[in-house]
Amino acid sequence: MDKEKLLKLLEKDGDMTLEEIAEQLGADMRDVAAQIDKYKETGVLLGVHAKVDWEKTKREYVTAMIELKVQPTRGHGFDAIAERLVNYPEIKSLYLMSGGYDIWMLIEGRSLREVAMFVAKKIAPMEGVKSTGTHFVLTKYKDEGITFGGRKADTRRLYSYD
C-alpha cells in the first residue's frame, strides 16, 4: 500500500469511505482500516475537520496574519514563547519562521478592533516580544488546497445524447 498516498487522500478529503480509499489505492479495505488505526494511535493522524467558507455565512469575522519578532530565551530558544502562544484559542496557526521575523501566526476575531486589541493587550506586552506587525486578510482565495469562491456556473448545454 502506498502509505504516503493514503495520508494525502485523507488530507484532501476526510470524508472518503474506506471502500473509496481502498479503490484509489488499489489496496484491501481491511489493510487500509488497520493502517488508519495505526496512524491515529501514533498521532500521525491528528483529526478531521470541515473546511467552511465563512464568507458565505452571516458570521462577522476577520482574519489577520501577525508577524512577531521575539527574544529567544537561553536554553529554550523560541519554544518557551510558542508554548504560551498556542494556548490562545484566537490563534489558529502558529509557525516559527526563517527570514525577517521569527514567528508567524494567524488570528481570527469578530472585528478589526477585536483582533487589534488582542494583539495590543495580549501579544505585544508578552515578555520576549520585541515587535508585532498585523496584516488583515481581505479575501481568501485558497486555503490548505481548497479553492474558495464557490462553484462556477454550469455552462453546459441543457440537453444532449452524448
Partner 1 sequence: MIDYEKAVTRAVREIRPSGIRKFFDIAAEMDDVISLSIGEPDFVTPWHIREAGIASLERGMTHYTSNAGLIELRQAICDYMRRRFKLQYEEDELIVTVGGSEAIDIAIRTLVGPGDEVLIPEPSFVCYDPITRMAGGRATPIVTRAEDDFRLTAQQLKAAITPGTKLLILPYPNNPTGAVMRREDLEAIADVLRDTDIFVLSDEIYAELTYGARHVSIASIEGMRERTIVVNGFSKAFAMTGWRLGFLAGPRPLVKAMLKVHQFAIMSSPSTSQYAAVEAMTNGDEDVRAMRTDYNRRRKYILEGVRRLGMPCFEPFGAFYIFPSIKDFGMTSDEFCTKLLREQRLAVVPGNAFGQSGEGHIRISYAYSKENLTEALRRLGAFTEKYGK
Residue with Cβ nearer partner 1 (2 or 55)? 2
Residue closer to partner 1 (CB basis): 2 or 31: 2
Other beta carbons within 10 angstroms of residue 117's beta carbon come to 12
Question: Which residues contact partner 1 (rule: CB under 8 A)?
Answer: 16, 20, 23-24, 151-152, 154, 156-162
Calculate ∠ Cα 90-144-25, nearest 5°: 135
Phi first, then psi, for residue 134 (nearest 5°) are: -110, 125
Q: In whole angstroms, how close is the CB of 98 to partner 1 at the nearest point?
A: 30
Shortest separation between residue 113's beta carbon and partner 1, angstroms? 37
Compute φ and ψ for 118, nearest 5 degrees: -60, -45
Minimum CB separation from partner 1 for residue 142, in Å?
12
- Report the nearest approach of partner 1 to the CB of residue 150 (Å): 11
Nearer to partner 1, 18 or 126 (CB): 18
- Residue 114 corresponds to which cell in the numbers above? 477585536
> For partner 1, which is the closer residue by CB, 2 or 127?
2
Cβ neighbours of 107 (radius 10 Å): 23
SS3 call for 67: strand
Burial grade of 88 (CB within 10 A; 0-12, 13-18, 19 or more): middle
Q: Closest CB to partner 1 among 52 and 158? A: 158
Nearest distance from residue 154's CB to partner 1, in Å? 7
**161: buried, middle or exposed (CB in 10 Å: 19+, 13-18, 0-12)?**
exposed
